[in-house]
Each structure stands twice: as structure tokens, then as C-alpha cells.
Amino acid sequence: MLYNYLLIIQTKKMKNTDNKSNENFKISGDWDKQAKQLKEKYVQLTDADLKFETGKESELLKRVETKLNKKREEVINIISKVQPLNN
């Protein structure tokens, strides 16, 4: 029973950590250039999918998640790879 309790606590902590990283995800640098790189790598992405407004990263992530059929964390990783290194 103690094992189950510890597993539940650990799972909740992991979920909280994931949500934090998603909430803190910010786009930096030249988004037009980054969007172009993403469209070259993932040809199914369109300008509408990659439309970005400051403060609306979550909406962008949802559109890309849906189009690529990927989890949020995977999409954040994909986008992070085209982000400038110094930001």
C-alpha cells in the first residue's frame, strides 16, 4: 500500500513538472526563419499551423501537435531545436 502511495505522489510530481515546462515554453528569435525551417522538415505544416502571436505559445503548440500527431513534449522538443541557442 505504501508503494502505491509513493507511486501516486511521484506521478503527480512528474505531471506538475511537465505542465511547468509547457507553461514556461517561450518562442525566441526570428520566428519566421524558425517556421521556415519547420516547414522544410515537416512539409505537412502550413503557414496557418505556424502562425504565432506573442503570449499564445500554447495555441501554436496545439496546432502543431494536431498536425504532426505528436505529444506536447515532443512538439516543444521539435520547436526547441530551431530556437537560437543563446535564448
Work out the pLDDT band at 23, boundaries 50, 70, 90.
low
- Burial group, residue 73, by CB count within 10 angstroms (0-12, 13-18, 19+): middle
pLDDT digits (tens, 9 = 90+) for 36-84: 999 999 999 999 999 999 889 999 999 999 999 999 999 999 999 998 8
pTM of structure: 0.70
- Helix%, strand%, coil% for the chain, nearest 5: 60, 0, 40
**Residue of 84, 78, 76 lying closest to 28 (CA atoms):** 84
Contacts of 54 (CB under 8 A, 6+ apart): 27
Distances (CA, A) of 77 to 4, 8, 16, 21, 63: 31, 26, 18, 11, 15
Q: Is the pLDDT of residue 30 over 80?
A: yes
